[in-house]
Amino acid sequence: MRPFDRVILVVLDSLGIGAQPDAADWGDAGRDTLGHIAERRGLHIPNFARLGLANIRPLAGVDPVAHAEGAYGKATLLSPGKDTTAGHWEMAGIILDRPFPTYPHGFPRNLMDRFEQAIGRGTLGNFPASGTEVIRQLGEEHMKTGRPIVYTSGDSVFQIAAHEDVIPVDELYRICLVAREMLQGENRVGRVIARPFVGTPGAFRRTERRHDYAVEPPRPMLLDLLAGAGLEVTGVGKIPDIFLNRGISRALPGHNNQEGLESTISALDDAKPGLVFTNLVDFDMLYGHRLDMEGYGRAIEEVDAQLPRLLDRLGAGDLLMLTADHGCDPLGPSTDHSREYVPVLGTGPRVTRGVNLGTRASLADIGATIAENFGLRISRGTSFLQELEDRKSKIENRNSPVGS
Comparing C-alpha atoms, which of 135, 161, 151 is closest to residue 102? 151
What pLDDT shows up at residue 395?
Answer: 42
User: 196 with 157, same domain?
Assistant: yes
Q: Say yes or no to pLDDT of 101 above 50.
A: yes
Collapsed DSSP state (helix, strand, coil) of residue 319: strand
Query: What is the band of 394 on the pLDDT scale with cuts at 50, 70, 90?
Result: low
CATH number at residue 207: 3.30.70.1250
What pLDDT shows up at residue 1?
Answer: 79
Query: Residues 264-301, buried b or exposed e (16+ Cβ, 10 A)?
Result: bbebbeeeebbbbbbbbbbbbbbbbbbbebebbbbbbb
- Within a domain: residue 104? no
Examine the fold and report which residue of 163, 193, 213 is the final residue of a domain before the chain moves on.
Answer: 213
Parent domain of 394: 6-99+215-399
Rounded CA-CA distance 59/63 in Å is: 7
Minimum mean pLDDT range among 23-27, 63-67, 396-400: 396-400
Examine the fold and report which residue of 184, 213, 242 is the final residue of a domain before the chain moves on.
Answer: 213
Rounded CA-CA distance 262/268 in Å is: 10
What pLDDT shows up at residue 270?
Answer: 82
Query: What is the band of 400 on the pLDDT scale with cuts at 50, 70, 90?
Result: very low
Strand 149-152 versus strand 157-163 pairing type:
antiparallel
| 193 beta partners | 159, 212
pLDDT mean over 27-42: 98
What pLDDT shows up at residue 401?
Answer: 39
DSSP output for 5-21: SEEEEEEETT---SB-T
Q: At what angle do helices 33-40 and 293-312 cross, to 10 degrees?
A: 110
Backbone angles phi, psi at 272, to 5 degrees: -65, 140
CATH number at residue 313: 3.40.720.10
User: 219 with 320, same domain?
Assistant: yes
